[in-house]
Amino acid sequence: MRIRGYRRPDGKFGIRNHVLILPCSVCAAETARLAAEGQKGVIYLPNQGGCSLSRKDLEVTLETLSGIAANPNIYGTVLLGNGCEVVQARLLAERIREKTNKPLFSFVIRQEGGSLKTAERVRAEAARLRREADQVPVETAGCEELVVGTECGGSDPTSGLAANPVVGSCADLLIAQGATVILSETPEMIGAEKILAARCASEEIKTRLLTMIREYEEDFIRVSENPRSGNPTPGNLEGGITTLEEKSLGCIHKAGSTPVNGVAGYGEALPARGLVVMDTPGQDIASMMGMAAAGAQLILFTTGHGTPTGSAVAPVIKITANPETARLMAEHTDFDCSSVLTGGEEIGRAGRRLLEQIEKTACGELTRAEKLGFGEVSLARYCNFA
């Protein structure tokens, strides 16, 4: 498989060519919106955080936002802060510089004399970057340049039965061609940790994976939730899921069958190629941001119920095996594999079809969410009491 896109000065390869306006905090978000308004090819991240952060959350936020700026789908970034937030523009700029040498500019609202003046300058800088970005020649590259995130949301029995196995079979094909695939959503791994652990490439990776899942479970218990006692839920049982292993297996099946080569914290740079597990929350948007921050240029999103979800940074291919959803949510469905359930299509065959869809998207074909201009943003957060 060949992909088409843009070579970045840091050596990475993007399949989109966005200019990013990145507010450091919620207090700079509206100014960023003003600056981005009406500019084609310029995206802005409606950051809802960036201040009143615990030390751990500051670290997670810096890591994620800098990772987003470093994502290969981004040509260059204009940062802006209010000036008093915990995520200081200078601090974030330093973190971005550690990850990439792509174009980067930074503004502080108070120093510029308010939002209108700042928005004007940010707008002008973004427009200049946009003109530069348009000069970048389109090149082709191999599958090994691709980092693909996997996600599921609005799941129903068809997700674990067909959509996730189809993505898993496609993940195997991608990895065989040198791509990296990320399995996300730690809460979905509870109950299937032994199966995942048995697939780890080394003892060290195995220990890290089991620790990650255990800590997530302990966090659940700390807030009086027990992920094991209520699972499978009555709805799951009615839908044919008998055991927790079976439920979690349905989810982790998105990762295919290759060894787990590494484990990454939320939004962290990936430690290995091939299949990597990332510690992300169950909330789809925050989970996808974590993977985009780790460099995913594309996300495979399985859904039973159907969802409008997109991502500002990485195109999201939405996949369903529910024939009703494919019909009712046609404007949100990029890939329909309901034929696995209704027409006897083999899972492997649907996986190969999905690979063809990925190739198209990775060569510039817009996803449904991109056509709608949807770019949801959410950052994971541990503590809300700082």
Partner 1 sequence: MSADKEKMTVPGMRKKRTAGVLLHPADQVLTLTEAVHKGDTVFYPAAEGEEEVAAREDIPKYHKIARRPIACGQDVFKYGEVIGRAVKPVYPGEWVHVHNLKSVSATEREKDEDKRV
State the binding string over 105-144 for partner 1 (x if CB under 8 A, else -): ----------------------------------------
CB 160 → partner 1: shortest distance, Å? Answer: 9
* Stretch of 126-134, 337-345, 351-359, 365-373 lying at the interface with partner 1 (CB under 8 A): 337-345
> Segment contacting partner 1 (CB under 8 A): 77-85, 272-280, 344-352, 375-383?
344-352
d(CA 7, CA 14): 6
344 binds partner 1, rule: CB under 8 A: yes
Residue from the set 253, 254, 318, 332 that interacts with partner 1 by CB under 8 A: 253
Identify the residue among 161, 170, 298, 369 touching partner 1 (CB under 8 A).
161
Taking CB under 8 A as the criterion, the residue among 2, 90, 228, 371 binding partner 1 is: 228
CA atoms of 351 and 163, how far apart (whole Å): 9
What is the C-alpha to C-alpha distance for residues 111 and 94, in angstroms, rounded to an integer?
19
Residue closer to partner 1, measured from CB, 210 or 272: 210
Q: Does 249 bind partner 1 (CB under 8 A)?
A: yes
Q: Residues near 162 by Cβ (< 8 Å), separated by ≥ 6?
A: 321, 337, 338, 340, 341, 347, 350
Interface with partner 1 in residues 177-206 (CB under 8 A): 191-192, 194-195
Of 38-46, 91-99, 159-167, 350-358: span binding partner 1 (CB under 8 A): 159-167
Decide: 196 and 260 in contact? Cβ < 8 Å. yes
* Closest distance of CB 206 from partner 1, Å: 13
Helix (H) or strand (E) holding 98: helix 89-99
User: Cβ closer to partner 1: 1 or 210?
Assistant: 210
Q: In sequence order, what are the residues at sequence separation of 6 or more whose Cβ sits closer than 8 angstroms to the Cβ of residue 355? A: 1, 170, 173, 174
What residues does 37 pair with on adjacent strands? none
Does 234 bind partner 1 (CB under 8 A)? Our answer is no
Instruction: Using alpha carbons, list the distances in angstroms from residue 127 to 38, 59, 62, 124, 314.
Output: 11, 31, 25, 5, 21
Does residue 340 belong to the site contacting partner 1 (CB under 8 A)? yes
d(CA 335, CA 349): 13
- β-strands 180-183, 139-142: how paired? unpaired
Helix (H, G, I), strand (E, B) or coil at 310: coil
Determine, following the binding rule CB under 8 A, whether residue 233 of this chain makes contact with partner 1: no
> Per-residue DSSP letters for 326-363?
HHHTGGG-SEE-THHHHS---HHHHHHHHHHHHHHHTT
Q: Is 242 a residue that touches partner 1 (CB under 8 A)?
A: yes
Residue 245 interacting with partner 1 (CB under 8 A): yes
Check residue 342 for interaction with partner 1 (CB under 8 A): yes
- Which residues, other chains included, contact 232 with Cβ-Cβ below 8 Å and sequence gap of 6+? 241, 242, 243, 244, 246, 247
- Which one among 76, 250, 281, 315 touches partner 1, defined by CB under 8 A? 250
Applying CB under 8 A, does 165 fall inside the site for partner 1? yes
Does 211 engage in binding with partner 1 (CB under 8 A)? no
Tell me which residue has tokens 């024939």.
323
The contact set with partner 1 (CB under 8 A) reads 157-158, 161-162, 165, 191-192, 194-195, 228, 237-240, 242-246, 249-250, 253, 257, 340-342, 344, 346-347
